[in-house]
Amino acid sequence: MNKEKGITLIALIITVIVLLILAGAAITIGLNENDIFAKANTAKVEWNKSIEQEELDIKEALSYIGTKIPNDLNIGDTVNWTPSGHYTWDYNYYCEAAHENLSTKMLYSGEEVPSDAEYSTLNVTSDNMDLTISSWKVLKIDKDNNTVVLVPSVPTRAKIMLGGAQGYNNGVKLLNDACSSLYGNYMGVKAKSINLEYILSLIPEEKRQELISKNIESSFGMKNTEPYTTNKMYPAIFEEEQPDSINPSTGYSGKILKSGDSRDSLIEISNSKKTAGASLDPIFTNIALRLSDMVDYLDDYSDLIFSGIQSENQDTRYWIANRSTLLKDDVCVYAVNLISGYGTQIYLPTFKSDGSAMMYEASLFPIVELTSGTIKEGEGGTYTYEPFK
């Protein structure tokens, strides 16, 4: 009997110990209840993110299938499609002062503007202002990769501004970003601003070199006899374009930007312009190609690239995403380039090394590459495009 009672007592002690352990665990769980719920919520957020990423990965994979292209689609054919997008045009990046006529003259194109309109920053959309493009022309067809390149039938009616050191610093990126947001806001659709390099890429290599040598100025790639020792201001991006032109050297060791390159980020207005130490010794980089020569060398592409450009009609000019520098006797001129109704690819000086700034406006002319979606036959010999959804 004593043995049996001893066994019962031990069992009782073990039971009490187990209950104490369970009670301690329950208390611990209770104390950490908030932490558990927080972790659960975090896990839920991460799960949702993974689902969203998986959906994006699927769409991205599907985009590589390519664009469905009709067999009879040809270069020069009209494709009807009205993309929709949004972009914020902020004066802190495109120039150095708010301009009232940005709203009244450029983007609203005659529409009444409220008296309290905010002129410094303008939210622009491609579907409710004169940035709408509904008619496109086929510029390139690649049936091996199932891609099609479109350009507008005419440049945008609305014009956008670039000016000052900021216009030079950010102009290339702003033009590309605006075109991407306004016209490339779809899976499998890529959009950017037209630039000189793209235009020249349409010309066979041998003819391309002939065109450049025919139009290039003798001072291209050259420096002045003497560097600038008085007028020696420069836009901030110039440190990346021509680091060796700034004396004393900045010691910049990164990638030297070409005229059509843009930085990964926009330059802030607080850092828009600088002054060289002892002197400024820039290189002449402008190439002014006459429209008449480019038409001859571009052959079938000329009517598409220069659509809407009328000789000696300044209103039809559009930006091309390139910068250039020109050297005068007393100042260096920093310019953004465009295609002009006067019949040439020209430069517009936005900033000079003496600190003076200029403002200009011109239309957008996006290049749109379709890597997915469907092009269908429409009415009257035209086609329609439906992006992948």
For 136-183, how does the pLDDT look when each residue is reduced to its tens digit (9 = 90+)?
999 999 988 889 999 999 888 888 888 899 999 999 999 999 999 989
Residue at which a domain ends, from 63, 92, 109? 63
Residue 224 placed within a domain: no
Measuring CA to CA, which residue among 271, 389, 257 is closest to residue 321?
A: 257
Identify whether 18 is part of a domain.
Answer: yes
Instruction: Report the chain (389 residues): mean pLDDT per 10 consecutive residues.
Output: 55 74 63 56 72 66 70 94 85 67 40 40 60 92 92 86 90 93 90 91 86 77 89 92 70 59 86 91 83 79 73 67 92 90 73 91 92 91 89
Please indicate, yes or no, if residue 260 is contained in any of the structural domains: no
Domain membership flag for residue 240: no
C-alpha to C-alpha distance for 330 and 225, rounded to whole angstroms: 12
Q: Is the dihedral of CA 228, 229, 231, 233 positive or negative?
A: positive
Which residues on adjacent β-strands are paired with residue 368?
150, 191
My answer on whether 39 and 105 are in the same domain is: no
Q: Please report whether residue 254 resides in a domain.
A: no
Same domain, 181 and 279: yes
Q: Do residue 85 and residue 211 come from a single domain? A: yes
Map residue 203 onto helix, strand or coil.
Answer: coil
Q: What is the pTM of this model?
A: 0.77
3-class DSSP assignment, residue 364: coil
- Residue numbers of the domain that contains 7: 2-63
pLDDT tens track for 2-55: 444 455 767 777 777 777 777 666 655 554 555 555 666 676 677 777 777 766
* Co-location of 122 and 186 in the same domain: yes
For the beta carbon of residue 128, count every other beta carbon within 10 angstroms: 10
Do residues 237 and 169 make contact, with C-beta atoms less than 8 angstroms apart? Answer: yes
Q: Is residue 247 part of a domain?
A: no
Structure tokens at 261: 């390159």
Position 235 in a domain: no
- For the chain, the domain total comes to 2
Same domain assignment for residues 17 and 122: no
Give 334's contacts (C-beta < 8 A, 6+ positions apart): 165, 168, 234, 235, 238, 323, 325, 349, 350, 351, 352, 353
Could you tell me how far CA 326 lies from the centroid of its own chain?
Answer: 25
The answer to whether residue 20 sits within a structural domain is: yes
Q: In the 8-state DSSP scheme, what is residue 129?
A: S
